[in-house]
């Protein structure tokens, strides 16, 4: 019974993105970062938790149509180019997303069923070692699903010609286009005192209630 519940709780969604969140577990002697699945993949649940002051960070798991996808986190254009050239020389398809200024996510066209198969494609020249170590620790690839301080909308700069991989990338872009993501970013800027009133990105007139009720 317990194993069946665990498989249901961690089951990959049939379609769309697999949404998780990161939090600090303070229940033991040594606090540690843990990841938890957003219940029912309901992002509104996460928004309400954040509105209540929970110090969470939302994540997108590297899973699409029940297949695990290897991901490279390249922290500079040079790292991205090195990784892309290496993958192309080894005839491995991949898509590239500019995740922020001079930083990139690279989704590798090697969908797998188990983590032990994913990790063999992740140790690529240009990969951020910290991202690699975190992925190995959690046995999954995760991408942040919120804006950083600078409001930068991720953009696909190279497609893979794989329907699965490119569909995953397109859903990531759609996610970042949601008003809820802008609301989270704007709320954090207010908390940090970093609101630039001359910036048009701060001028949207909608509230969390508008988002939860589907009014925007």
Model pLDDT, residue 31: 63
Query: How big, in percent rounded to 5, are the helix, strand and coil portions of the chain?
Result: 40, 20, 40
What are the backbone dihedrals phi and psi of residue 110, each rounded to the nearest 5 degrees, phi first? -140, 65
Model pLDDT, residue 158: 98
Model pLDDT, residue 200: 59
Model pLDDT, residue 30: 64
SS3 118: helix
In this prediction, residues 121-130 reach a mean pLDDT of 96
Model pLDDT, residue 28: 62
Query: Any idea where the domains of the chain sit in the sequence?
Result: 2-180
What are the backbone dihedrals phi and psi of residue 97, each rounded to the nearest 5 degrees, phi first? -120, 130
Whole-number Å distance between alpha carbons of 209 and 216: 10
Whether 23 has a pLDDT exceeding 80, the answer reads yes
Model pLDDT, residue 198: 58
The answer to whether 83 and 126 are in contact (CB under 8 A) is yes
Over the stretch 62-115, which tens digit does the pLDDT of each residue have?
999 999 999 999 999 999 999 999 999 999 999 999 999 899 999 999 999 999
Among the listed residues 7, 13, 17, the one whose alpha carbon sits nearest the alpha carbon of residue 58: 17
Whole-number Å distance between alpha carbons of 124 and 128: 9
pLDDT confidence tier of residue 211, bands split at 50, 70 and 90: confident
pTM above 0.75, yes or no: yes
Place of tokens 């001079």: 102
Average pLDDT, the chain: 89
pLDDT confidence tier of residue 24, bands split at 50, 70 and 90: confident
The answer to whether 58 and 43 are in contact (CB under 8 A) is yes
Neighbours of 198 (CB within 10 A): 7
- In this prediction, what percent of the chain has a pLDDT beyond 90? 71
């Amino acid at each position: 019974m317990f194993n069946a519940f665990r498989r249901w709780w961690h089951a990959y969604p049939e379609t769309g993105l697999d949404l998780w969140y990161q939090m600090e577990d303070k229940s033991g002697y040594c606090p540690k970062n843990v990841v938890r699945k957003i219940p029912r993949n309901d992002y509104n649940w996460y928004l309400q938790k954040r509105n209540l002051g929970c110090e969470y960070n939302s994540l997108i798991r590297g899973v699409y149509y029940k297949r695990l996808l290897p991901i490279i986190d390249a922290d500079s254009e040079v790292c991205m180019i090195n990784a892309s050239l290496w993958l192309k020389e080894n005839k491995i398809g991949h898509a590239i997303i500019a995740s922020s200024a001079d930083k990139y996510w690279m989704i590798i066209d090697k969908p797998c069923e188990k983590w032990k198969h994913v990790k063999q494609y992740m140790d690529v020249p240009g990969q951020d070692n910290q991202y690699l170590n975190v992925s190995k620790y959690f046995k999954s690839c995760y991408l942040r699903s919120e804006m950083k301080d600078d409001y930068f909308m991720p953009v696909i700069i190279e497609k893979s010609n794989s329907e699965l991989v490119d569909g995953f990338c397109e859903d990531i872009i759609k996610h970042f286009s949601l008003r809820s993501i802008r609301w989270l970013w704007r709320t954090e800027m207010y908390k940090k005192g970093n609101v630039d009133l001359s910036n048009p990105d701060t001028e949207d007139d909608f509230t969390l209630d508008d988002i939860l009720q589907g009014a925007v």
